[in-house]
């Protein structure tokens, strides 16, 4: 299987650059050089530099290796960084409907748009998003990663493919799945949006973020 790198075709350049700046900032705070990062992650200095400069959008497994090398998790790197010391205090988060921020995830390069529904740091145990789905699948690209996810269709109709099984969800339908199963989703018959809740990638990411997977 060949890894397909999300190179920013569908993500906004400003978001890609912001992700790179967060990685660079955390690396600087930890006093980690690019040479050390290259050893810890197994990636070349040039590749890591392109990520930090916003020239490359790393796939999810790549981002997980970078996060581990920096002593953090993917959720924190994908969020606006909040540096806190000691044990995390109890907190709550309110995001107003008119102030939702679009965020870049590895899937963004394939037409998925994510809007953050909660603000927080690495202490968050869930990642809720409002997601706008693409109208077409990108050839044989599937997503596969550690964790679980829940999806509730807010509007429109959504086709899910989970492994070799296809499901059509109507407005009001919900789905819960183990994210280690290769999966993807798209809008049917016009625009579709969904609430999606993911578990943060705190542990090992055991598979590619985007895989070439044979059609049934």
Bridge pairing between strands 174-178 and 127-132: unpaired
d(CA 207, CA 120): 26
Once rounded to an integer, what is the mean pLDDT over residues 10-16? Answer: 67
The partner residues of 129 in beta bridges, in order of sequence, read 116, 196
By the 10 Å C-beta count (0-12 exposed, 13-18 middle, 19+ buried), 178 is classed as: exposed
Token pair 């993500």 is at which residue?
A: 11
| Per-residue model confidence as pLDDT tens digits over 132-189 | 999 998 877 888 877 899 999 999 999 999 998 999 999 999 999 998 899 999 999 9
User: Residue 1: pLDDT above 70?
Assistant: no
**pLDDT tens track for 57-86:** 888 888 888 988 888 777 778 765 444 444
Asked whether residue 96 carries a pLDDT value surpassing 90, the answer given is no
Indicate the burial class of 94 (C-beta count within 10 angstroms; 0-12, 13-18, 19 or more).
Answer: exposed
User: Taking all residues of the chain, what is their mean pLDDT, rounded to a whole number?
Assistant: 79
Phi and psi angles of residue 34, each rounded to the nearest 5 degrees, phi first: -65, -35
- Nearest 5 degrees, angle CA 133-CA 148-CA 104? 45
Report which of residues 47 and 91 the model is more confident about.
47
Taking the domains of the chain in order of start, what are their residue ranges? Answer: 13-78, 97-212
Statement: residue 38 has pLDDT above 60 = yes
Of 133, 126, 128, the C-alpha closest to 115 is 128
- What class does CATH assign to 13-78? mainly alpha
170 secondary structure, DSSP code: -
Fold of 97-212: Jelly Rolls (2.60.120)
Is the pTM of the predicted complex or chain greater than 0.75?
no
Six token digits for residue 182: 């290769």
CA distance 12 to 26: 22
Tell me which H or E stretch contains 61: helix 60-69
What's 148's DSSP letter?
Answer: E
Q: What is the per-residue pLDDT across 109-128, written as a single tens digit (0 to 9) for each?
A: 888 999 989 876 556 778 89
């Amino acid at each position: 299987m060949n890894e397909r790198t999300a190179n920013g075709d569908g993500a906004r350049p400003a978001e890609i650059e912001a992700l790179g700046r967060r990685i660079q900032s955390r690396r600087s705070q930890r006093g980690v050089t690019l040479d050390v990062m290259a050893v810890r992650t197994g990636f070349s200095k040039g590749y890591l530099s392109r990520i930090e400069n916003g020239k490359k959008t790393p796939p999810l497994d790549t981002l997980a290796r970078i996060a581990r090398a920096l002593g953090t998790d993917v959720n924190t790197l994908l969020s606006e960084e909040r540096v806190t010391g000691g044990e995390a205090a109890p907190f709550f988060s309110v995001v107003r409907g008119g102030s939702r921020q679009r965020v870049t995830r590895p899937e963004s390069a394939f037409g998925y748009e994510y809007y953050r529904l909660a603000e927080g740091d690495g202490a968050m145990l869930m990642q809720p998003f409002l997601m706008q789905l693409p109208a077409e699948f990108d050839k044989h690209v599937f997503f596969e990663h550690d964790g679980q996810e829940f999806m509730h269709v807010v509007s429109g109709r959504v086709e899910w493919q989970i492994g070799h099984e296809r499901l059509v969800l109507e407005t009001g339908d919900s789905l819960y799945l183990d994210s280690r199963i290769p999966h993807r989703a798209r809008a049917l018959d016009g625009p579709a949006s969904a609430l999606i809740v993911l578990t943060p990638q705190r542990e090992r990411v055991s598979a590619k973020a985007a895989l070439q997977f044979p059609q049934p």
